[in-house]
C-alpha cells in the first residue's frame, strides 16, 4: 500500500506550476515602485469584471471586508438586521457585526447545506436591511426565488461568493446575480492571491463609486473625504498575482469538477452522504464535503493512512461564544446543527493527482469499515 501523505491543500504546487508567470508579475510591481491602488489593481478589476460579466469590480483587502463594505455602501448600520445562515465560514457573520448590524439566521436545506430560501420571508422584520446568501462549498444558493422575495420587500441581495468564484446559477456567474457580489482571494480559494485580498462586484455605477470611496478613507479625490470610509484596499502585488492566475481559473475549476466525479464514483457505496448538486448545476467544488454520523472515526482512520481531512464547519455561528448574545438557543436551527455534526471535507484542489484521489477514496472506504 502506498503510504505517502495526501495533504488537505498544497499551494506550493500551484506556485511551481505558474512560477514563471508569477515571478514576472511580482518583479514588475517591485520595479514599478507603486504598491497600493494603481494600474495593476485597475487592470485586474477590469479583467475580473469582464470575466464575471458585470460592469464593475472594486478590489478590497479581504472577503470579510468585501461584505462589510457592500453593507456600508447600502447604508446598513447599527441596529439594522441582515438575514443570512449560521452554516458558513464565521467571517460572513464578522462582516455583518463589523458594521454594527444584527445577523438574523435562517436554517439550511439539509440536502445542499445552503440557505433554505423558503424560510427567508418569515425572517423579514421592519428592521431587515439586506439578505446575504452564502454560495457555500462552491455551489450557488437558489437565487431566483430569493431575488423575488428581496424585490417584494425592497431589500438588496449581497452574495457571499468567497467560495464560489466561477460558480453559476441559471447560466449567470455568482457575483453577477444580486445587487453586489463579495469575493475572497484568500490563498486557498478557487481564485486566491498570496496574502489577503477581496473584491466587490456590481452592475450599479453609483454603488461602485461609493465602494471606491469607502475602501479609501471615503475620498472622492485626494484629500477630499466626502463620506466616512475605512482603509480596505487590494495592493498592487496581489492584483498582479491575481491577473496572472485568472486565466487559469476556468481550467482549475474543471479539474475540481473532474475530481468530484471520481470521488462520486469511488465513494458511491461507501455509506457516506455525498454532496448534493442542485439541478441547475454550476458547482465549482471549492470543497468536497461528505457527511457521516461516524465522522470522527472515519477522519481518524483516514489520517492514520495519511489522508488529511478537515471540517467545514464544526460549530455553527449561532453556537459560537462570540454570538451567543444573538439569542439563538441550541435547537433553533436543527438542520444547521445536524449538518455541522456530520460534515467533513476531502482534499480538493486542482493539483491533486489521479493517484492521490484514488488514495483518498481507498483511505475513506477502508476507514468506513473500521
Ligand atoms: C473565506 C470566506 C470569507 C472571508 O474571506 P477572507 O478573505 O478570509 O476575509 C467569507 N465568507 C466565506 C463563505 C468564506 O469562505
pLDDT tens-digit map of 88-115 = 999 999 999 999 999 999 999 999 999 9
pLDDT (0 to 100) of residue 189: 98
User: Whole-number mean pLDDT of the chain?
Assistant: 97
pLDDT (0 to 100) of residue 280: 87
Question: Does the pLDDT at position 2 exceed 60?
Answer: no
Ligand 1: which of 59, 63, 158, 316 to mutate, judged by most atoms within 8 Å of the beta carbon? 63
**In percent, how much of the chain has pLDDT > 90?**
97
Angle at which helices 91-98 and 63-73 pack, to 10 degrees?
40
The CA 197 to ligand 1 mean position distance, Å, reads: 10
Q: How confident is the model at residue 3 (pLDDT cuts 50, 70, 90)?
A: low
Average pLDDT score over residue span 198-225? 97
Secondary structure of the chain: what % helix, strand, coil (to 5)?
45, 15, 40
CA–CA distance, 191 with 254 (Å, rounded to integer): 13
CA–CA distance, 243 with 96 (Å, rounded to integer): 29
Q: How confident is the model at residue 1 (pLDDT cuts 50, 70, 90)?
A: low
The CA 84 to ligand 1 mean position distance, Å, reads: 14
pLDDT (0 to 100) of residue 370: 60
pLDDT (0 to 100) of residue 4: 82
Whether 162 is in the pocket of ligand 1, judged by its Cβ within 6 Å, is yes
Ligand 1: which of 64, 137, 174, 285 to mutate, judged by most atoms within 8 Å of the beta carbon? 64
The CA 368 to ligand 1 mean position distance, Å, reads: 31
- Is 337:112 a contact under the CB 8 Å cutoff? no
The CA 182 to ligand 1 mean position distance, Å, reads: 9
Q: E-strand spans in the chain?
A: 56-60, 81-85, 102-106, 128-131, 158-160, 168-169, 172-173, 180-184, 198-202, 219-221, 224-225, 288-291, 343-346
Q: How confident is the model at residue 369 (pLDDT cuts 50, 70, 90)?
A: confident
Q: Which of 192, 185, 78, 91 is nearest to 132 (CA)?
A: 91
Secondary element (H or E) of residue 223: none
Question: Does the pLDDT at position 81 exceed 90?
Answer: yes
Whether 243 is in the pocket of ligand 1, judged by its Cβ within 6 Å, is no
- Is 166:250 a contact under the CB 8 Å cutoff? yes
Segment 28-57, tens digit of pLDDT: 999 999 999 999 999 999 999 999 999 999
Which grid coordinates belong to 106? Answer: 435562517
Whether 198 is in the pocket of ligand 1, judged by its Cβ within 6 Å, is yes
Segment 216-273, tens digit of pLDDT: 999 999 999 999 999 999 999 999 999 999 999 999 999 999 999 999 999 999 999 9
Q: What is the position in ligand 1's atom list of the atom closest to the CA of 65?
A: 9
Strand, helix or coil for residue 81: strand
Average pLDDT score over residue span 15-36? 98
Whether 186 is in the pocket of ligand 1, judged by its Cβ within 6 Å, is yes
Average pLDDT score over residue span 163-177? 97
The CA 148 to ligand 1 mean position distance, Å, reads: 26
Ligand 1: which of 70, 133, 186, 238 to mutate, judged by most atoms within 8 Å of the beta carbon? 186
Average pLDDT score over residue span 65-71? 98
Whether 184 is in the pocket of ligand 1, judged by its Cβ within 6 Å, is yes
Average pLDDT score over residue span 290-312? 97
DSSP state at residue 83: E
Helices (H), 319-353: 334-342
Which grid coordinates belong to 58? Answer: 472594486
Segment 341-367, tens digit of pLDDT: 999 999 999 999 999 999 999 999 998
Give 76 or 369, the one with higher predicted confidence: 76
Whether 134 is in the pocket of ligand 1, judged by its Cβ within 6 Å, is yes
pLDDT (0 to 100) of residue 29: 98
Whether 137 is in the pocket of ligand 1, judged by its Cβ within 6 Å, is no
Whether 63 is in the pocket of ligand 1, judged by its Cβ within 6 Å, is yes
pLDDT (0 to 100) of residue 368: 77
pTM, full prediction = 0.98
Amino acid at each position: 500500500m502506498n503510504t505517502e501523505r495526501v495533504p488537505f491543500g498544497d499551494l506550493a504546487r500551484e506556485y511551481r506550476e505558474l512560477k514563471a508567470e508569477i515571478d514576472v508579475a511580482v518583479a514588475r510591481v517591485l520595479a514599478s515602485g507603486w504598491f497600493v491602488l494603481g494600474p495593476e489593481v485597475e487592470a485586474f478589476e477590469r479583467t475580473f469584471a469582464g470575466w464575471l460579466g458585470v460592469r464593475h469590480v472594486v478590489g478590497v483587502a479581504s472577503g470579510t471586508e468585501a461584505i462589510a463594505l457592500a453593507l456600508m455602501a447600502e447604508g446598513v448600520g447599527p441596529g439594522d438586521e441582515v438575514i443570512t445562515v449560521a452554516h458558513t465560514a464565521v467571517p460572513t457573520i464578522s462582516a455583518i457585526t463589523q458594521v454594527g448590524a444584527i445577523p438574523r439566521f435562517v436554517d439550511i436545506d439539509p440536502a445542499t447545506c445552503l440557505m433554505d430560501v423558503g424560510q427567508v420571508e418569515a425572517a423579514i422584520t421592519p428592521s431587515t436591511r439586506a439578505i446575504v446568501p452564502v454560495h457555500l462549498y462552491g455551489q450557488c444558493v437558489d437565487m431566483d426565488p430569493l431575488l423575488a422575495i428581496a424585490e417584494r420587500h425592497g431589500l438588496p441581495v449581497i452574495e457571499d461568493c468567497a467560495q464560489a468564484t466561477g460558480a453559476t446559477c441559471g447560466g449567470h456567474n455568482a457575483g453577477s446575480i444580486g445587487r453586489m457580489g463579495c469575493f475572497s482571494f484568500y490563498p486557498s480559494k478557487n481564485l486566491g492571491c498570496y496574502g489577503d485580498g477581496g473584491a466587490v462586484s456590481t452592475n450599479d455605477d453609483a454603488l461602485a463609486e461609493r465602494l471606491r470611496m469607502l475602501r479609501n478613507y471615503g475620498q472622492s479625490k485626494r484629500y477630499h473625504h466626502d463620506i466616512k470610509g475605512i482603509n480596505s484596499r487590494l495592493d498592487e502585488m496581489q492584483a498582479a498575482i491575481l491577473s496572472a492566475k485568472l486565466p487559469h481559473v476556468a481550467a482549475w475549476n474543471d479539474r475540481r469538477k473532474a475530481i468530484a466525479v471520481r470521488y462520486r464514483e469511488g465513494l458511491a457505496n461507501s455509506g457516506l452522504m455525498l454532496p448534493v448538486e442542485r439541478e441547475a448545476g454550476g458547482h465549482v467544488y471549492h470543497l468536497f464535503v461528505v457527511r457521516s454520523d461516524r465522522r470522527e472515526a472515519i477522519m481518524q482512520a483516514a489520517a492514520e493512512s495519511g489522508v488529511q481531512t478537515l471540517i467545514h464547519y464544526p460549530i455553527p455561528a449561532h453556537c459560537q461564544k462570540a454570538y451567543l448574545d444573538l439569542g439563538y438557543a441550541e435547537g433553533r436551527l436543527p438542520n444547521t446543527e445536524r449538518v455541522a455534526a456530520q460534515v467533513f471535507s476531502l482534499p480538493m484542489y486542482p493539483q491533486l493527482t489521479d493517484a492521490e484521489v484514488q488514495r483518498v477514496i481507498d483511505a475513506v472506504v477502508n476507514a468506513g469499515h473500521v
